[in-house]
Every structure is written in C-alpha cells, then in structure tokens.
Amino acid sequence: MNEQAHKAITPEFLRSMSYPDFVALMKQDNTPPGSAYTVDYWIEHAGISNNSVLLDLACSTGYSSRYCFSKTSSSAEGIDISEIAISTAREKAAAMGAQDKLRYQVSDACSLPFSDDTFTHILGGCNFAFIQERSKALAEVARVLRPQGVICTSNFYYRKQPGQEIINSVYNAIGFRPDPDWTLKYWHDFFAREDLELYHEKNHELSSQPQEELKENLLRYVSAENEFTRELDETTQNAFYERYLAIREPLNDQRDYQGVTIQLWRKK
C-alpha cells in the first residue's frame, strides 16, 4: 500500500470495513482460539506431519497452515471468502518462501473446489460459527476429507448464558451475531454426523482481561508489535487502534461467559 493509500485510512473507512477485511488489512495473524497452543495440540494429537495435506478452512490470513508448515513441512490449501484475507495469506506464504506448499484461494466453504477424499486434515479454527450455512460446509468438509482423516476444530462455546446486551454489543462491533445456544453440547451435536467420530477433546474456561490492560495491549500491538501498523503515522495508527478497541472490548466482555473447546473428529 502506498503513502497516498495510507492517507485514505480514516476512522470512518476502517469502521465501514467488515471484521474479516479489517483484520486482513492490518495483516494480523488471525489465530484460532488458543493460538499456538491449539495448533500444537492439533499437530500432536491428529498426527500432522510432512506427509499431511491440509485444508485451512475459512483461513483468514492463513496463520494455522503457516504454523503447521513451519513446524512439520506439511502442505496446505487455504480458502476464505474474503479477498483481502486471501491476498494477505499469499503475501505471508511468499515471505516465507513457501508459496509452492501453501496455496490460498477465494472460495465459499459451502462449495469447495476440491475432489472427494483429497485432504488428510481440515483445520477449522473458530470458523464454523462464522459460516452461515455451516451444516452445508461440514458436509463439504466430510466429502473432501480422506477416510481416517481428521477435522481439527477450536470453537468458543458459552458455559453461561450471556445477556442480550452482550450479544448486541458483539454484533455491533463485528457485524456478526453469536447465538447464545452455542454451548458445548451444540458443537458436539453439530459435528456428530454418522460419518464422523470424536476422538480427542480439551476444554478451557476463559475470563475477561481488565479493561486498562486490554487497552495497553492493543496500543502496544498497533504502535510497536504489528509490522504493518507500526510503520504508519500516528493519526492512522490511532484510527486502527480505535476500530480494534471497538472490536476487542465486547469480545473481551463475553469471555466471562465462554470456554474454548478443541476437538478432533475422525472420518470413519
């Protein structure tokens, strides 16, 4: 992005972007719930290795497939419906010299451009919640997964019922309305198709961060840690900080009601 384009980044422009596009514009490593811990868990318990062929489903900027590649040399295809996320994922793979092993394309999870039985593993970090027609996407995933292949998931679930106020503020921040019925049982029932069996599960309860700590962390992230935003002028950095805080505050508030469930589902 050139100097002129940076000048066009105003708070209004950033507020007008969808949440996935904003994250991609910031070139953020959008990670699955549990971040590296989760992907390490997948690698260890689902047996991801240099022979694995992964599908990074609704991959955002491709963190999970890049992480698996850097740890195991596995290859991957990644798909997401956001064009800007895919172009950032491609940039990041090229920067590692891994563009031959990590390929990304714009595609809808409900209509995957791959043959039956293609993949050994599907990486599904916090994405089925975001996919509106999620049962259709799961049927597609089961189709492209090889027999004995594994769907590696990590999803937020509600361990306490959140009030409507929390749900509304999350919706206002990210344009996506979580369903208070997304409990642990919901995710079990969702994945429990006849052709899938659960063989590993690990659950963690979450809690919110103090607000001041959250603000300090986000300010440090935008001004010093993020390789893209730290190079911007102060006004543009403030625009990123403002939108990012507006996203993260309601997400942080709902952590007191949530847990993360990491599950591995094997195709029979």
Ligand X SMILES: C[S@@+](CC[C@H](N)C(=O)[O-])C[C@H]1O[C@@H](n2cnc3c(N)ncnc32)[C@H](O)[C@@H]1O
Residue from 67, 69, 104, 130 in contact with ligand X (CB under 6 A) = 130
90 and 83 Cβ atoms separated by less than 8 Å: no
- How do beta strands 119-125 and 258-267 pair? unpaired
CA distance 125 to 154: 5
Query: Counting contacts by CB under 6 A, is residue 30 touching ligand X?
Result: yes
Q: Which is nearer to ligand X, 29 or 253 (CB)?
A: 29
Query: Counting contacts by CB under 6 A, is residue 250 touching ligand X?
Result: no
**In the range 157-186, which residues lie near ligand X by CB under 6 A?**
none
CA distance 143 to 166: 36
**In the range 69-108, which residues lie near ligand X by CB under 6 A?**
79-82, 85, 108
Binding-site size for ligand X (CB under 6 A) equals 22
**Separate counts of helices (H) and strands (E) for the chain:** 11, 7
Reading the block at residue 147, the tokens are: 């027999």
Residue from 48, 59, 167, 262 in contact with ligand X (CB under 6 A) = 59
Largest CA distance in the chain: 54
Residue from 122, 131, 166, 260 in contact with ligand X (CB under 6 A) = 131
Residue from 25, 26, 31, 151 in contact with ligand X (CB under 6 A) = 31
Q: Which residues contact 88 (CB under 8 A, 6 or more apart)?
A: 24, 25, 27, 61, 62
Query: Counting contacts by CB under 6 A, is residue 20 touching ligand X?
Result: yes
Residue nearest to ligand X (CB): 125
46 and 68 Cβ atoms separated by less than 8 Å: no
CA distance 83 to 70: 24
Residue from 63, 156, 240, 244 in contact with ligand X (CB under 6 A) = 63
Q: Which is nearer to ligand X, 127 or 236 (CB)?
A: 127
What φ, ψ does residue 253 adopt, rounded to 5°? -60, -35
Minimum CB separation of residue 245 from ligand X in Å reads 18
Binding range to ligand X, per CB under 6 A, among 59-67, 91-99, 188-196, 218-226:
59-67
Q: Which is nearer to ligand X, 60 or 229 (CB)?
A: 60
CA distance 21 to 211: 25
Looking at the DSSP bridge assignments, the partners of residue 78 are: 56, 104
Q: Which is nearer to ligand X, 58 or 196 (CB)?
A: 58
- Kindly list the residues in this chain that would bind ligand X in the complex (CB under 6 A): 20, 30-32, 58-60, 63-64, 79-82, 85, 108-110, 125-127, 130-131
